[in-house]
């Protein structure tokens, strides 16, 4: 391998290390706050690797952040998410349910 390619590989490793650090911090539990529909729907708790959630970004290629609502998270546990919802969104109390991704 040529020296330049080794430098390129080194730079890639540093790049992926940075990406990994960001994504590791984005691990955890999320919920989607959808203001227009929030009273008529169950609020699902997702984990970061769920296809719906994808680290709080929504479905890849389909999501338009902020258009209908926002992902809120990550939370270190379902209990901390539930506590946050109860403290900040009392009208969602009792509407939380687990997505299939964490059942």
Part of the chain binding Zn ion (CB under 5 A), chosen from 10-18, 38-46, 65-73, 87-95? 38-46
Q: Give the length of the chain.
A: 103
d(CA 5, CA 40): 56
Give the CA dihedral 63, 65, 69, 72, nearest 10 degrees.
100
Part of the chain binding Zn ion (CB under 5 A), chosen from 3-11, 30-38, 67-75, 94-102? 94-102
Residue 81 engages Zn ion in binding (rule: CB under 5 A)? no
Tokens describing residue 99: 């997505």
Residue 52 engages Zn ion in binding (rule: CB under 5 A)? yes
Asked if the peptide bond before residue 74 counts as cis, ω within 30 degrees of 0, the response is: yes
Residue 98 engages Zn ion in binding (rule: CB under 5 A)? no
Residue 50 engages Zn ion in binding (rule: CB under 5 A)? yes
Q: Give the footprint of Zn ion on this chain (CB under 5 A).
A: 46, 50, 52, 99, 101
């Amino acid at each position: 391998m040529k020296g330049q390619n080794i430098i390129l590989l080194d730079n890639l490793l540093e790049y992926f290390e940075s990406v990994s650090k960001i994504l590791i911090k984005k691990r955890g539990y999320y919920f989607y706050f959808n203001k227009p529909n929030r009273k008529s729907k169950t609020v699902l708790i997702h984990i970061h690797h769920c296809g719906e959630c994808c680290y709080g970004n929504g479905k890849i290629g389909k999501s338009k952040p902020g258009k209908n609502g926002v992902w809120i998270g990550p939370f270190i546990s379902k209990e901390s998410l539930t506590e946050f919802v109860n403290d900040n969104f009392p009208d969602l109390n009792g509407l939380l349910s687990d997505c299939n991704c964490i059942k």
